[in-house]
Amino acid sequence: MATVLITACPRDLPTRFGYYYLRKAADTLAAYGHKIVFLRSANLSNFRKALVTYDPRLVMLNGHGGRKAVTGCGDVILGAASYDPELGRKIVRENPGWMTGRIVFLFTCNAGLELAPRLYEEGALAVVGYKRDYIFLSDDSEPARSARSVPFFMGPIMFPMVLARGGSVGEAVSSVKESYRRYMVEAEMRGDEMVAKYLNYDLENMVVYGNMRVSL
């Protein structure tokens, strides 16, 4: 069984949705016997402490992402030294090496563009992310009541769901893609062209780097 570190800080509408669905993923991972470390108030200090203390095999980050970095509760918790135009921040200290030997899921906007390949170059086993803004549609501001948003989140969390039951990264990525496509067909059948359009957008912007055969 593996240790899984999740950061999700529900500070605004997008991160509330991310938090809600990553809690679902955490429950599934725990049901399969994996140890869950969930940082609801992630900052650089407690993120580093969790990595050192628990040495997680899988790290999943939800926050606001730029091409160079990902935030927790305000702080940049993972990033490469540079100016990040999406976040509007200069990253002075970098820490991609913290992901060496881990599977990483960057469930944020933009971080798949430059940060994801950098993490792989620094020794991450595999990294999944999105190259541009992650777009979802919702018919309610509360995740539990929003039916329209379901496919935008249930698709991506197939990644940890498949890993939870022993699947490889490659199998997990394939499951995510299949879920996106299935939800797209369902949206088209009910005439919701906007949902289908943005599911396709997110699918096209998903990237994966690393060893497709690794698992938890």
164-180 confidence digits (pLDDT tens): 999 999 999 999 999 99
| Domain enclosing residue 46, as ranges | 3-210
Residue 215 belongs to some domain of the structure: no
| Average pLDDT value for the chain | 97
Contacts 24+ apart (CB under 8 A), 132-135: 132/201, 132/205, 133/109, 134/14, 134/107, 134/108, 134/109, 134/202, 134/205, 135/198, 135/201, 135/202
Total domains in the chain come to 1
The structure tokens listed for 167 are 């699947």
pLDDT of residue 124: 98
Write down the pTM of the prediction. Answer: 0.97
Eight-class DSSP state of 156: T
Residue 107 belongs to some domain of the structure: yes
Residue 101 belongs to some domain of the structure: yes
Region 83-88: mean pLDDT is 96
User: Confidence class of residue 17 from pLDDT cuts 50, 70 and 90?
Assistant: very high
Res 54 pLDDT > 90:
yes
Residue 216 belongs to some domain of the structure: no
123-167 confidence digits (pLDDT tens): 999 999 999 999 999 999 999 999 999 999 999 999 999 999 999
pLDDT of residue 74: 86
Query: Residue 130 sits in a domain of what CATH number?
Result: 3.40.50.1460
Give the chain's length.
Answer: 216
pLDDT of residue 169: 98
